[in-house]
């Protein structure tokens, strides 16, 4: 398993339906779950929280929490469900995370993080990795970041995903934390220079294959997030330009392959809108993209959408010549 390009864990985005959809576009990127809280796994419906389609693989399970015991047990359960990696979230700054003192809050408690990582690795044979930020609040100097990574390295963790912004705890909303703190890529590059034996993955504000190529000159891998969710077919460019894979399905072919999955999932109790909402950006930048977004929003991304409409979706694409270089919208 390689981490040359990964799709970031994103709350309310990278659920199992999104991951299945993205895998139809790219066979090489590493996919991540949304952050799943270890306490929820301990107390909740494990099958509902952790089940996934084997065609999503390789896929990493991201855990949130601060109890070494609960994180360790969740790691073991994740391995039993078939995940390929266990990732500890040390970067999320949401209010829920701050209230429960995990995610980015744990950067303040490095010794607790060490305990968590040691316990997790003792319970699973899977690689345990870390996703964190370059700092928090007023702590944003390179020395602090170096010392933090150097300490965690002693646990045996070898892969670190570094979001190139600091977390502003208690001051910014999650959305503001994704935009306002400045990106400091040079700090991540410096980490790789100083920890040549570690796998360093860079994250934050990356939206094109050219950017990915430039980052890969300095670090081992790149994690992209919002750009994929808003324009998922960027993964086709990544397959061609980063992985040298020219066997790429067209946008229409992706929808054709998705239809049987949709029907099967709806039979099992999923709602049509839960799946199709992830495809809204598929035709981004193409002729007919506005029609596609409008049609989905009005017909398939409403709560009680009728699954029978999926049978006509390819006709809608053809009639409106979506993705056709000279097509016009009716």
Q: Catalytic residues, which ones?
A: 92
Q: What is the dihedral of CA 21, 213, 167, 85, to 10 degrees?
A: 50
Instruction: Give the pair of three-digit tokens for residue 76.
Output: 């073991």
Asked if residue 32 lies in contact with residue 60, where contact means CB atoms within 8 angstroms, the answer is yes
Angstrom distance (rounded) from CA 124 to CA 220? 24
DSSP state of 287: T
Q: Is the peptide bond before 58 cis (omega within 30 degrees of 0)?
A: yes
Tokens standing for residue 266: 């709806």
State both tokens at 238. Answer: 């990544």
Residues, the chain, total? Answer: 330
Strands 159-163 and 199-203 come out as: parallel
The residues pairing with 85 across neighbouring beta strands, listed in sequence order, are 60
| CA 163 – CA 242 distance, rounded (Å) | 21
């Amino acid at each position: 398993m390689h981490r040359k390009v990964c799709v970031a864990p994103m709350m309310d985005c990278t659920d199992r339906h999104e991951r299945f959809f993205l895998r139809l576009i790219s066979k090489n990127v590493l996919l991540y779950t949304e952050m799943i809280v270890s306490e929820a796994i301990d107390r909740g419906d494990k099958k509902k929280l952790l089940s996934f389609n084997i065609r999503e693989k390789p896929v990493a399970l991201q855990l949130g929490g601060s109890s070494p015991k609960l994180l360790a047990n969740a790691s073991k359960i994740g391995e039993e469900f078939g995940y390929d990696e266990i990732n500890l979230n040390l970067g999320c700054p949401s209010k829920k995370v701050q209230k429960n003192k995990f995610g980015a809050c744990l950067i303040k408690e490095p010794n607790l993080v060490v305990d968590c990582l040691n316990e997790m690795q003792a319970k699973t044979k899977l690689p345990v990795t870390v996703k964190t930020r370059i700092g928090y609040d007023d702590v944003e100097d390179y020395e602090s970041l170096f010392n933090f990574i150097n300490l965690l390295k002693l646990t045996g963790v070898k892969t670190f995903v570094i979001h190139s912004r600091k977390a502003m705890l208690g001051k910014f909303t999650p959305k503001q934390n994704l935009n306002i703190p400045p990106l400091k890529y040079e700090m991540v590059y410096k980490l790789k220079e100083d920890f040549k034996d570690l796998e360093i993955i860079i994250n934050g504000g990356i939206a094109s294959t050219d950017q990915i190529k430039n980052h890969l000159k300095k670090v081992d891998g790149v994690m992209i997030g919002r750009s994929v969710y808003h324009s998922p077919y960027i993964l086709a460019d990544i397959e061609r330009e980063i992985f040298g894979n020219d066997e790429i399905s067209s946008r229409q072919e992706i929808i054709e392959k998705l239809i049987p999955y949709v029907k099967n999932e709806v039979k099992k109790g999923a709602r049509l809108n839960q799946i199709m909402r992830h495809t809204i950006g598929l035709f981004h930048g193409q002729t007919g993209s506005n029609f596609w977004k409008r049609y989905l929003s009005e017909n398939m991304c409403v709560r009680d959408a009728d699954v029978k409409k999926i049978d006509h979706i390819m006709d809608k694409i053809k009639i409106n010549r979506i993705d056709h270089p000279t097509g016009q919208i009716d």
